[in-house]
């Protein structure tokens, strides 16, 4: 195994961990949002689990601003 293969493995490990972290953050934000009712939460979670990459991109576009506002409010408390 060459040093370049190690770098490639490290890169892909970083990509996978980053994607999982973003997905988990989006799912946690779905449950943190008081504006969503139960059905909306269920649909978002199903969408995020079934199509994780597309789901996270759509979630960040649709609800990214309120996501950052909730995070800011939580850190100020």
Q: How far apart are CA 17 and CA 14, in angstroms?
A: 5
pLDDT in tens, 7-66: 999 999 999 999 999 999 999 999 998 899 999 999 999 999 999 999 999 999 999 888
**Which domain covers residue 51, as residue numbers?**
3-76
How does DSSP assign 5-74, residue by residue? HHHHHHHHHHHHHHHHHHHHHHHHHHHH-TTS-HHHHHHHHHHHHHSHHHHHHHHHHHHHHHHHHHHHHH
The domain total for the chain is: 1
pLDDT at 25: 93
Q: Please, which pLDDT band fits residue 4 given cuts at 50, 70 and 90?
A: very high
pLDDT at 64: 84
């Amino acid at each position: 195994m060459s040093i370049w293969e190690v770098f490639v493995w490290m890169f892909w490990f970083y990509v996978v961990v980053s994607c999982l972290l973003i997905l988990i953050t989006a799912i946690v934000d779905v449950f943190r949002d008081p504006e969503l009712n139960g059905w909306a939460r269920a649909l978002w979670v199903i969408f995020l689990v079934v199509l994780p990459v597309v789901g996270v991109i759509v979630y960040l576009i649709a609800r990214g601003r309120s996501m950052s506002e909730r995070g800011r409010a939580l850190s100020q408390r």
